[in-house]
């Protein structure tokens, strides 16, 4: 069975986020009052598996081993069966 997978990766609270700081400063220069900007990375792919649970378990392993650094990142996984 084929599944669509989406992984959202963000920095944990308290971690420095220079990209978000730059965005806030740039928007301020354009006249927008923006505070507490955050950035996330979204990774999407399709994956074969027997069921949603198996795919989710494999994606958690991917996140822990390669896609993010669990010490500084949070991640959110979404798995949807494709018709």
Residue 8 bridge partners (DSSP):
42, 76
- The answer to whether 7 touches 82, Cβ cutoff 8 Å, is no
Task: Provide the pLDDT confidence category of residue 64 given band limits of 50, 70 and 90.
Answer: very high
> Which sign does the torsion angle of CA 24, 21, 74, 65 carry?
positive
What are the tokens at 12? 């944990």
Task: Provide the pLDDT confidence category of residue 83 given band limits of 50, 70 and 90.
Answer: confident
- What is the average per-residue pLDDT within 34-56? 96
CA neighbor of 15 nearest in space, from 77, 74, 76, 63: 74
Q: Which CATH class is domain 2-81?
A: alpha beta
Round the average pLDDT of the chain to a whole number and report it: 96
Q: pTM for the complete prediction?
A: 0.88
The domains of the chain are located at 2-81
pLDDT beyond 80 at 42: yes
């Amino acid at each position: 069975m084929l599944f669509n997978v989406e992984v959202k990766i963000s920095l944990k609270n308290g971690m420095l986020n220079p990209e978000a700081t730059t965005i806030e400063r740039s928007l301020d220069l354009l006249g927008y009052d923006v505070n507490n900007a955050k950035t996330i990375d979204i990774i999407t792919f399709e994956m074969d598996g027997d069921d949603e649970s198996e795919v989710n378990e494999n994606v958690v392993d991917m996140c822990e081993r390669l896609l993010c650094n669990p010490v500084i990142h949070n991640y959110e996984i979404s798995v949807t069966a494709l018709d």
